Amino acid sequence: MVFLGGAILRASVTDVYLRYVKQGLRPFLIVAGVLLVVTALAALWQEFRDHRRTGEEHDDGHGHHHSGPAVGWLLLLPAVALLFVAPPALGADTAARAGSALTGNQDTAYPPLPPGDPARLTLLDYGYRAVYDNGRTLRDRQIQLTGFIAPGPDGQPMLARIILSCCAADGIPIKIGLGGDVPQLPADTWVQATGRWLPHTAKDPVNDSDIPYFQVDAWQKVNPPAEPYE
């Protein structure tokens, strides 16, 4: 429990936890890690105090100690995984297997984009405005999007990002089709693309949701962000 709580704390005070959960859950992870460590230390102190008091190891005569079954050491496995194995964030493989997030109807009045070009938008915000607002607030504006390359159903590159409600287990992709100067890069390569709204949509074959398009005027490769999810 000490190692498991310590591993959770280490992940929480670095950016590693962002590969598993949303940023807002960091305080809860820290509290959980502290509670695990405190509880484990209290149990160790109790064990040490009892051992000193009796001067023996409390053997029950069958080779088992009262400190608990050996299976408890399996708690070391998730601790070691958190400390030494850093899995990649969900990416192109998830985008290929799961349907896009733009399902249903969003009858919402979207406010104008902030002044200044290019306007930096999340992929989800761009998708909502393109599909549910018919691109009204996107017209005649330069827009900047950041995401990773994922193969589209037609084999052409798309821009994608994973959206979390809580943790990586509920992650779903937002997919943006690309036109113009399309980056021909391997899947999971992160790019920052600048361009314009393209009045065109396609259907996602996975869940029949709408996939809006984006006209790429310029792009550049970027490092994966510390917080890879939207």
* Domains by residue range for the chain, with CATH: 2-84 (no CATH), 92-221 (2.40.50)
pLDDT tier for residue 4 given thresholds of 50, 70 and 90: confident
Beta carbons within 10 angstroms of residue 138's beta carbon: 22
Is residue 12 within a helix (H) or strand (E), and if so which, with residue range?
Answer: helix 2-13
Is residue 159 within a helix (H) or strand (E), and if so which, with residue range?
Answer: strand 157-163
Helix ranges, 14-75 (H):
26-54
Q: What is the pLDDT of residues 108-162, one digit of tens each?
A: 778 999 889 999 999 999 999 999 999 999 999 999 999 999 998 888 999 999 9
Joined tokens for residue 161:
């990002």
Is this model's pTM higher than 0.75 or not? no
pLDDT at 8: 81
Q: What is the pLDDT of residues 15-66, one digit of tens each?
A: 777 777 777 777 888 888 888 888 888 888 887 887 777 765 455 555 444 5
How far apart CA 39 and CA 151 sit, in angstroms, is 47
How far apart CA 58 and CA 122 sit, in angstroms, is 60
